Amino acid sequence: MRTTHADDRTTRARLRDTAIEVFARDGFSATVRTIADAAGVSPGLVIHHFGSKEKLRSECDDHVLRRTREVNEASLDVGAGPQAFGGILTTLDTIDEDGPRIVYLIRSLQAGGDMARQLLDHLAGDAEATFRHGVVTGTVRPSRDERARARYMVAQSMGALLVDVVMHPPADWSDAGSILRSYVDRVLVPATEVAVHGVMADESLLDTVLAYREEHDAPTN
Amino acid sequence: MRTTHADDRTTRARLRDTAIEVFARDGFSATVRTIADAAGVSPGLVIHHFGSKEKLRSECDDHVLRRTREVNEASLDVGAGPQAFGGILTTLDTIDEDGPRIVYLIRSLQAGGDMARQLLDHLAGDAEATFRHGVVTGTVRPSRDERARARYMVAQSMGALLVDVVMHPPADWSDAGSILRSYVDRVLVPATEVAVHGVMADESLLDTVLAYREEHDAPTN
DNA sequence: GTCTATATAATGATAGAC
DNA sequence: GTCTATCATTATATAGAC
């Protein structure tokens, strides 16, 4: 923000967007050289603009996170049904314009780190709000611990996507639409079944677990 | 297997076990030097035994996978209740003897690759068998697609663990027991709630999704 | 079997010309 | 702003002595 030349910003932004694409395509072990090649510039220029690879990565993180927050905020009003999939169904509509961003998010979740944690916190907050609203409306079952459930559901749905990607490695990491569509195709029915009915027919299991917890550890409340 | 000296095996095994520990503790980017240091030998010796870092990694994979299959097979008879957690509750009993193996598995799942895929296939097969049995017994609800549900449940439960580790990074990756215990502590109640009752109170959601699928794509059956 | 050099390759980062 | 060297570091892997 302290750069003297006004043209800087445009180049920085272009470089940053290219970096996001390459990170999404090749993973975070992608080299500065690869990014520079993809942008049609020299490796030195990339470092010249961002100081280091780490700072470049950090700027990609910030940008992706910021845009994701914007998009999520905009789509929060829309549908309350598909949130069991972490907003994937909503995402599929706009997938073509910012596919790299979505894949970048997947890779961040997989790689861990601070940015992933912030993203998850954000998603968990949204989920909790949505669930609480659903409980009031009557579409969602109440939970003994709304906060814990929301976090668990986010972990479950995001995690299922991560593991699915391991089970079925995308032939082309550049095609976010294809990745998400094939995932939804595989899980839509079982996920809905489980979300609506659960898996266990024996309801006493819940009592068993609650009793187990009561005696092994002090309850969180 | 074509080594001339009989003593080789002991050293190889010791080196391999050390590598598993270091990979578990530091991740797969751990260097040959670190592994050699941990084993109290020179980096050259490690390469001398395994040919390359990649082959060492491969041997660690094979060993961990083989032992995991053995353990799972042995514990399949025991309890049918906790399988929603991917056998974690069963695992917690023997956690002290082979903690590194468990953490190695987590890191493999996170890193992806062939070994993770084999592991997931194996888990999915076990889960499907357990679920089918549960359906007959009456403890598990039937599904429209048992195979897809089993795979989804494995992805969900393993993935939830992966994401939880990102949300709450372990202070000490060497302490598998602590990692798993804190995870179970966080999710036991919400996971059981969801497994028993599901989340959605509105049962019509399932019909909506099934109808959606009917018109957007040919059913898998 | 094991160690001590050392070769080799890749990568992030710097310096200075243009 | 951008490029062309070039450096410094790090890691795997090799070679040969013991």
Q: Give the global pTM.
A: 0.93
Q: Which residue is nearest to nucleotide C10 (CA to C1')?
A: A31
Q: How many CB atoms lie within 10 A of CB B97?
A: 8
pLDDT at A83: 52
Residue A188 has a pLDDT of 95
Q: How far is the CA of A44 from the C1' of C14 (A)?
A: 9
Which bases of strand C have any atom within 7 Å of the beta carbon of a protein residue?
A: 1-5, 10-16
Q: Does A218 touch chain B (CB under 8 A)?
A: no
Q: Helix axis angle, B146-167 relative to B114-137, nearest 10°?
A: 120
Residues A147 and A128: beta-carbon distance below 8 Å: yes
pLDDT tens digits, A113-151: 999 999 999 999 999 999 999 999 999 999 999 999 999
User: Do A38 and A22 form a contact (C-beta atoms < 8 A)?
Assistant: yes
Collect all residues with Cβ–Cβ distance below 8 Å to A156 and sequence separation of at least 6: B156, B157, B159, B160, B163, B194
pLDDT of B180? 96
At residue A98 the predicted structure's pLDDT band, cuts being 50, 70 and 90, is: confident
- Per-residue pLDDT, B216: 79
Q: What is the mean pLDDT of chain A?
A: 90
Whether residues B156 and A160 touch (CB distance < 8 A) is answered with yes
**What pLDDT does A187 receive?**
96
| Beta-bridge partner residues of A200 | B140
For residue B160, give the nearest of A144, A156, A187 by CB distance: A156
Contact indicator for B34, B22 with CB cutoff of 8 Å:
yes
- Mind listing the domains of chain A with CATH numbers? 57-217 (1.10.357.10)
Mean pLDDT computed over A58-70: 97
Which pLDDT belongs to residue B86?
58
In this structure, are residues B120 and A117 in contact, taking their beta carbons and an 8 Å threshold? no
Mean pLDDT of chain B, nearest integer? 90
**Which residues of chain A neighbour B158 with C-beta distances below 8 Å?**
159, 163
Q: Which two tokens stand for residue A194?
A: 């489980």
Q: Which residue has the higher pLDDT, B217 or A25?
A: A25
What backbone torsions phi and psi does residue B28 show, to the nearest 5 degrees?
A: -80, -5
Q: Which nucleotide comes closest to A7 if you measure CA to C1'?
A: D1
Q: Which amino acid is at A6?
A: A
Query: Any idea which nucleotide's C1' is nearest the CA of A3?
Result: D1
Nearest to B169 by CA among B179, B177, B159: B179
Predicted local distance difference test score (pLDDT) of residue B8? 52
Residue B85 corresponds to which tokens in the numbers above?
A: 């957690």
* A80 has a pLDDT exceeding 60: no
Residue that is written with structure tokens 């990607």 in the block: A165
pLDDT given at position B97: 80
Q: What would the two tokens of residue A139 be? A: 């579409």
Contact A120, A154 (CB under 8 A): yes
Give CA angle at A41 (A14, A13), nearest 5°: 10
Which ranges constitute the DSSP H helices of B31-175?
A: 32-39, 43-50, 53-75, 88-91, 99-111, 114-137, 146-167
DSSP A43: H
Contact B187 A152 (CB under 8 A): yes
Q: Which of A144, A190, A199 is the closest to B148 by Cβ?
A: A190
Using a CB–CB cutoff of 8 Å, tell me whether A148 touches chain B: yes
Residue B191, φ and ψ in degrees, nearest 5: -65, -40
Taking the C-alpha atoms of residue B143 and residue B151, their distance in angstroms, rounded to an integer, is 12
Average pLDDT of the residues in A82-111: 83
Interface touch A144/B189, C-beta < 8 Å? yes
Q: Which residues of chain B have pLDDT under 50?
A: 2-6, 80-82, 221
SS3 category, A27: coil
Identify from B132, B193, B206, B213 which residue to disrupt to test chain A contact, counting A C-beta atoms within 10 A and taking the largest count. Answer: B193
Q: How many angstroms separate the CA atoms of B59 and B75, rounded? A: 24
CB atoms within 10 A of CB B84: 22
Which is nearest to B137 in space by CA: A201, A197, A193? A201
Min CA distance, A64 vs chain B (Å)? 18
pLDDT at position A63 over 70: yes
Is the pLDDT at A7 greater than 50? The verdict is: yes
Which residues make up the interface with nucleic strand D when CB must lie under 7 A?
Answer: A 3-9, 11, 40-45, 48-49; B 31-33, 43-44, 47-48, 51-54
List chain B residues with CB under 8 Å of A151: 167, 186, 190
Q: Which residue among B117, B167, B201 sits closest to A117, beta carbon to beta carbon?
A: B167
Looking at chain A, the whole-number percentage of residues with pLDDT higher than 70 is 89
- At residue A175, the pLDDT reads 96
Q: Using pLDDT thresholds of 50, 70 and 90, give the confidence band for residue A221.
A: very low
**Which protein residue has its CA closest to C1' of C11?**
A31
Answer whether B197 sits within 8 Å of A187, measured CB to CB: no
Q: Which nucleotide is nearest to B5 (CA to C1')?
A: C1
Quick one: pLDDT at residue A218? Answer: 59
Helix or strand holding residue A163 (H, E): helix A146-167
pLDDT, residue B7, reads 52
Chain B residues 13-72 within an 8 A CB cutoff of chain A: none
State how far the alpha carbon of A205 is from the alpha carbons of A110, A199, A210, B20, B203, in Å. Answer: 32, 11, 9, 36, 21
User: B185 and B89 in contact (C-beta within 8 Å)?
Assistant: no
